[in-house]
């Protein structure tokens, strides 16, 4: 039996711009994200450009990925960038103590990453080491990648083959400083931040402070109070959709309880953003500082037989639900959320791409990102939603989430998600302020909620044409099957 949802959309009441950087990605030296993921080396039989897989580059270009965060995560506060420059056979090997205890030969370093970003047509977001590094080391990194004139660091860059600076704008000043980034208190981190940020010199740097773990509002408050607004451009927030941290459960073959709990955790993003934003509004009413959700996504048990520190997991329609609802939340909060990074891009956590030898597959999350790219840099159209419930046991969640925008060509896009595992949702969208002539759309759904793409059947889940939308007299009527994502285009 279908349930009823009503949505109102004032097409003539546009709000601000949805920053394309909300659609950012994350690549850490973790498991097979970089090595045997993005980077297979120049001598690989797999077609590559300077060691980076051509098929991955093509797939990510198709997503128009706006930025890519690197080299961590927790790895960033253990990473010494000077280990990763110069002739590859002279680079030191270290142990990746954070992730799996494997040897890291530093064959993928600063030049490799920044040149890969050029190939991808994306902006790099470098995460600096404020845990085990020094102020001088991070100041040197900024000078190495960004300084145009002559200096010890820019001379070294030129000697290593890069004449022109890369002009990197986005810089993380540490990562999870409350945990793997140094177990700091917020009060202590404020002092550290002020020092590091002061010596990161150069024009147009966008400095992002290490932010709260989920609902640690004291962290955000302490940073907003203690860091002068001219020293920072963003504060991070990390929130993973996890059914239960002590017992995460499998990525496929999960129970309905685990599905429901994952959705509950994903939908919490709305509350977290609202509450962190309220704190930021007190100190920064003009919204100069962004909330940067630079780690989000589903986190489950690692697949059987894989190094537990590699965080490799399959990606199902459950992940598509996390992606669709979270991106709607970001769009609807785009006045404060300006950058976000899905964790992570390839072979780690909620990956958009999985690889196995020469094979590559695009996950359901990839397809959601591809369907939603129409929102990048578009103008938000606020919606109000009265949704049916997804009831499980004694609990309930809102079934439907919606966001809408108008692009530069004047096209309106509406993305709608029904997370209800058991029921379709009939949705009526009342449109005011504009008369549209036609509607078209695409849908992502499957027979079972844990359906996924495999290397044997890589296209089991992909978007299909959606024919069920009816536009009449300023009303748009839809029917969304259980666990489905639809993106509509109105002209």
Q: Is 77 in the site for ligand AHR (CB under 6 A)?
A: no
Measured from the CB atom, the residue of 139 and 349 that comes closer to ligand AHR is: 349
Minimum gap (Å) between residue 28 Cβ and ligand AHR = 5
Minimum gap (Å) between residue 180 Cβ and ligand AHR = 6
Measured from the CB atom, the residue of 185 and 432 that comes closer to ligand AHR is: 185
Name which position in 27, 173, 343, 352 contacts ligand AHR (CB under 6 A): 343
Using the contact rule CB under 6 A, the part of the chain among 41-49, 50-58, 70-78, 401-409 near ligand AHR is 70-78
271 is catalytic: no
Measured from the CB atom, the residue of 48 and 326 that comes closer to ligand AHR is: 326
Q: Is 72 in the site for ligand AHR (CB under 6 A)?
A: yes
Cis peptide leading into residue 73 (ω within 30°): yes
- Tokens matching residue 445: 């759904």
Closest residue to ligand AHR using C-beta atoms: 73
Got the DSSP string for 11-80? TT---SB--GGGGEEE--SSTTSTBTTTB--TT-SS-EETTEEHHHHHHHHHHT--EEEES-SGGGGG--
Name which position in 3, 67, 175, 387 contacts ligand AHR (CB under 6 A): 175
CB distance 15 to 436 below 8 Å: no
Q: Residue 82 region, left (φ>0) first, then alpha (ψ -120 to 50), else beta?
A: alpha
Question: What 3-state DSSP class applies to 370?
Answer: helix
Question: What 3-state DSSP class applies to 340?
Answer: strand
Q: Is 450 in the site for ligand AHR (CB under 6 A)?
A: no
Q: Is 73 in the site for ligand AHR (CB under 6 A)?
A: yes
Q: Is 378 in the site for ligand AHR (CB under 6 A)?
A: no
Name which position in 7, 24, 28, 232 contacts ligand AHR (CB under 6 A): 28
CB distance 460 to 453 below 8 Å: yes
Please name the residue that has the structure tokens 């990390």: 238
How many CB atoms lie under 10 A from the CB of residue 357? 10
Sign of torsion over alpha carbons 425, 430, 434, 435: positive
201 is catalytic: no
Catalytic residue among 28, 192, 295, 425: 295
With CA atoms as reference, report the closest residue to 50 among 106, 124, 105, 119. Answer: 119
Measured from the CB atom, the residue of 242 and 439 that comes closer to ligand AHR is: 242
Q: Is 176 in the site for ligand AHR (CB under 6 A)?
A: yes
Using the contact rule CB under 6 A, the part of the chain among 68-76, 146-154, 379-387, 402-410 near ligand AHR is 68-76
CB distance 202 to 222 below 8 Å: no
Instruction: Write out the binding residues for ligand AHR, residues 347-366 only, by CB under 6 A.
Output: 349
Q: 415 - beta bridge partners?
A: 403, 487
Using the contact rule CB under 6 A, the part of the chain among 72-80, 81-89, 260-268, 395-403 near ligand AHR is 72-80
Catalytic residue among 176, 192, 370, 425: 176
The site for ligand AHR (CB under 6 A) is made up of: 28, 72-74, 175-176, 295, 343-344, 349
Q: Which residues belong to the active site?
A: 176, 295
């Amino acid at each position: 039996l279908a349930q009823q949802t009503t949505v109102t959309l004032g097409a003539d009441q546009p709000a601000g711009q949805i920053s394309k950087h909300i659609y950012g990605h994350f690549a850490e030296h973790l498991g097979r994200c970089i090595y045997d993921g993005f980077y297979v080396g120049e001598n690989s039989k797999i077609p590559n450009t300077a060691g980076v897989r051509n098929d991955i580059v093509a797939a990510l270009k198709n997503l128009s990925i706006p930025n890519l965060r690197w080299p961590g995560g927790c790895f960033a506060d253990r990473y010494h960038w000077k280990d990763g420059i110069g002739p590859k056979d002279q680079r030191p090997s270290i142990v990746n103590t954070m992730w799996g205890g494997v040897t890291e030969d530093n064959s993928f370093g600063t030049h490799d990453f920044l040149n890969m970003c050029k190939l991808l047509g994306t902006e790099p977001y470098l995460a600096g080491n404020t845990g085990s590094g020094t102020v001088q080391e991070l100041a040197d990194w900024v000078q190495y990648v960004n300084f145009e004139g002559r200096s010890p660091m820019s001379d070294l860059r030129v000697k290593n083959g890069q004449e022109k600076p890369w002009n990197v704008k986005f810089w993380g000043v540490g990562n999870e400083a409350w945990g793997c980034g140094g177990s700091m208190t917020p009060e202590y981190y404020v002092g550290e931040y002020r020092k590091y940020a002061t010596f990161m010199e150069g024009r147009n740097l966008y400095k992002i402070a290490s932010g709260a773990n989920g609902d640690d509002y004291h962290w955000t408050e302490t940073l907003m109070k203690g860091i002068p607004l001219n020293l920072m451009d963003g504060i991070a927030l990390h929130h993973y959709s996890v059914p239960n941290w002590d017992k995460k459960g499998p990525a496929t073959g999960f129970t309905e309880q685990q599905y429901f709990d994952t959705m509950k955790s994903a939908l919490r993003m709305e509350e977290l953003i609202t509450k962190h934003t309220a704190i930021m509004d007190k100190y920064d009413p003009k919204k100069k500082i962004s909330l940067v959700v630079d780690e989000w996504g589903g986190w489950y048990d690692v697949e059987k037989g894989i190094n537990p520190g590699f965080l490799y997991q399959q990606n199902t329609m459950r992940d598509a639900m996390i992606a669709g609802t979270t991106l709607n939340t970001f769009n609807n909060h785009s006045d404060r959320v300006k950058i976000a990074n899905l964790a992570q891009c390839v072979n780690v956590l909620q990956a958009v791409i999985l690889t196995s030898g020469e094979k590559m597959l695009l996950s359901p999350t990839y397809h959601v990102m591809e369907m939603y790219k129409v929102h990048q840099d578009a103008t938000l159209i606020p919606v109000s939603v009265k949704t049916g419930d997804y009831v499980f046991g004694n609990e309930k969640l809102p079934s439907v989430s919606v966001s809408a925008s108008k692009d530069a060509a004047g096209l309106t896009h509406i993305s709608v998600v029904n997370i209800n595992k058991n029921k379709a949702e009939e949705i009526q969208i009342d449109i005011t302020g504009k008369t549209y002539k036609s509607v078209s759309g695409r849908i992502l759904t499957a027979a079972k909620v844990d359906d996924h793409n495999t290397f044997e059947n890589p296209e089991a889940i992909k978007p299909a044409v959606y024919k069920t939308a009816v536009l009449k007299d300023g009303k748009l009527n839809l029917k969304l099957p259980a666990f489905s994502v639809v993106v509509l285009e109105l002209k």
